[in-house]
A and B are shown apart, each in its own frame.
Chain A
């Protein structure tokens, strides 16, 4: 299937897939959630859910791609053994999830790129946490979204080995080097220990149903599940490659990067003396954006003029690489469908879909309500349902999944993984969907059907919130 493209090497595939998985979820969201929700206690829950849900789900998606050698929609038809199978709707779900995420993801990648350039030219050193207010929306946000989208289109249009693989084998090792470099630098600074205590001191009293819901969401988010990306990338694997080996490597590399990011961010905040600062705490509590674009710039400035600029600029470059490599994998999903199903030239498909996602990204660039809306639709509608049913499908209906999982292994574990796909994984995902999506969890930990997400620290996955967001976005408030 040379016409479809193929990875040049196993290393190239793993870098591309890790690049897809590693993004904002690892670098910013995971560290903040870990520190906020019980430290090592959250890590245990996360790793448990990674094994019970994340690993079967990613192996299921990858198996479908590799067995069928097809893009998402065709993959479900082929795996079901019926060219008119209704399961193909799950492929459509994946494509829509990827497209909806791209409606805002390149905007955020643009923020990171802007911060990188601003750090080279004094942009935020006078007002480290204030720049974000002007970066988040406005004409310049449109410009940076355009730049990121153009780069993404170019890389995807160059093909699997000639574009995506070449870009990610540079970006991912660079990102890893940046993170490890900052971790090591922080390790030798006095006062960094408080950061490690913040993320590793277990606090089991923090664990709640809300935590489990958040942890499962983090697993999906982090592994790029339910967006067709892993399925699509796996469809370009060589036949001799092992889905189980590579999928497990990707899942644990992804979690490893997330853990390293936590060991980077919190020690940095600790040794710069900001961890105990109420303003910094408020920025951390406000979410991933407050952490990345307000709290950390303050910390970089506290490091001093030269070191602060160096660390700040490489951090934002790394954040941009992480976001760009994920955006590439998301654009590849609809492009692969157009190439496979419509016979479209790759560059035309990349240009077309890139322009579509950019156009909707303009909305996210001028009004944050749109960004929020696209995010909630992608997650609450497409991703959760898509992951649950895809895992269920891979376990019950797809042909040859257990055999594919055993390929290249000495022991037969495929049947056990398939059993998890059939039972534990979809049940846990659906429970999360029902209790995290349909119901909100209020700060007391009680389920509340009409609880408005985000109110007083409640869960954010709530369909009432989605309805509210529709209202806000279309009124352009």
Chain B
């Protein structure tokens, strides 16, 4: 269902043997029970994502643009990153965190409304109203920030899995540099829950790769920007990859 949202179409081995084989190989290296279904997103921007709550119903997707731009080892590294999400059960983690925030919001709203109703009777302010307000404002904000922090940590983790599976972290680093040029997936605009599953933030603007390479600090995202993003800055991910 998520695949249909993203406008991704399933492919067979014969449609694109190179892509299919790299997914196959990474799945073997990861010891997955079966090769995930492979999808291609008909979009020229550069991104990839995975879905599926267990390795058995996992699916991986890659945009047409990225497929054309990557060399074979890089393709394998990107697919290994997505398989990393599958192995770490990140899809489930993300679903749970979204549901938890929803629950906090709902409790807050219930308290808010009951508080409002009872305050009409007693004329004075009801504590329920205030607690509800607290839930919605602080609870949801903190919850969202926590969710984002988890998402960023999960990205690093999936990068590490990819480095382990391919024993070639440099390929993922070069792939990330390429991806950073145009990771924007217009079709995913407004589908915020899905961004955590992509290889790079699909709502981000293109980086300047020259800056990535020279590692200048001036254009680095501020702490505030970092706090509100689903993915760590690509430069940080590359630096970590080069340490492995």
Q: Do A and B bind each other?
A: no
